[in-house]
Amino acid sequence: MNIRRINRAVHRDMGYFFFGMCIIYGLSGIALNHRHQWNPNYIINQQSFNAELPADKESEREFVMNILEQIEQENNYRTHLVSGQMMRIFINGGTVNVNLQSGEGHMETIRKRPVFHQVNFLHYNTPRKLWTWFSDLFAAGLIILAITGLFVLKGKNGFNRRGVYFVSTGIIIPLLLLYLYMNS
């Protein structure tokens, strides 16, 4: 069996095997590169409201439930705290803060961002042990894919002709950017 055929087989099969990992790291890499512009893990909603405070004396629990009914969160109640003129109500997936004199309130809810939360969990290497080993295997696989990819094509589109220009440019750009960042 010749070396070119082995190279293509290794490149093809590793590409198939690591397809899922490429998607995971690609999506989470884009998300993490832009985390200063958005939260890639959570969707945070903030809403202000004015609650009508009940005039009659109710139990504290009834008072809280009255406020939550006004903002349609009565089924999400967990607990609450009162500190001076402020009440903080903890609900499933967020908090509600209410000024007990004015009725002005603010609700913040948090939920996991679909897909991105999960791929970022993996990208951060959070699961540990077996995932760390598999991630290391993927990193080694990327090196092998890069090297074998150089020699998949031959002729005018192969590495010795067209490929050398793309590879050189792909190496020069990161080195140039590194130089600019290190010296600015």
Minimum mean pLDDT among 60-69, 91-100, 125-134, 174-183: which range?
125-134
The Cα–Cα gap between 22 and 20 comes to 5
Nearest to 68 by CA among 99, 91, 86: 91
pLDDT bin (cut points 50, 70, 90) of residue 132 is: confident
Q: Which two tokens stand for residue 181?
A: 């960042």
At 183, the amino acid letter reads N
Provide mean pLDDT across the span 111-139: 89
User: Is residue 31 within 8 Å of 120, Cβ to Cβ?
Assistant: yes
- Region of residue 107 (phi > 0: left; psi between -120 and 50: alpha; otherwise: beta): beta
Q: Which two tokens stand for residue 177?
A: 């950017």
Tell me the pLDDT tens digit for each residue of 75-124. 999 999 999 999 999 999 999 999 999 999 999 999 999 999 999 998 88
Query: In Å, how far are 77, 89, 97, 98, 108 from 83, measured between CA atoms?
Result: 18, 11, 11, 11, 18
Identify the pLDDT of residue 127. 74
The Cα–Cα gap between 128 and 170 comes to 32
The Cα–Cα gap between 162 and 100 comes to 72
Domain borders along the chain are 3-39+116-182, 42-112
Sign (positive or negative) of CA dihedral 56, 61, 67, 70: negative
- Percent share of the chain, pLDDT over 90: 77
Statement: residue 171 has pLDDT above 90: yes
Angle at the Cα of 32 (from 27 to 34), degrees rounded to 5?
Answer: 105
User: Is residue 76 within 8 Å of 92, Cβ to Cβ?
Assistant: yes
Dump strand ranges (E) for the chain. 42-50, 77-83, 86-91, 94-99, 104-112
- Percent share of the chain, pLDDT over 70: 99
Tell me the pLDDT tens digit for each residue of 38-50. 999 999 999 999 9
pLDDT bin (cut points 50, 70, 90) of residue 57 is: low
- Which residues 6+ apart lie within 8 Å of 162 measured at CB? 156
Q: What is the mean pLDDT of the chain?
A: 92
Statement: residue 184 has pLDDT above 90: no
Strand, helix or coil for residue 106? strand
- Which residues 6+ apart lie within 8 Å of 15 measured at CB? 145
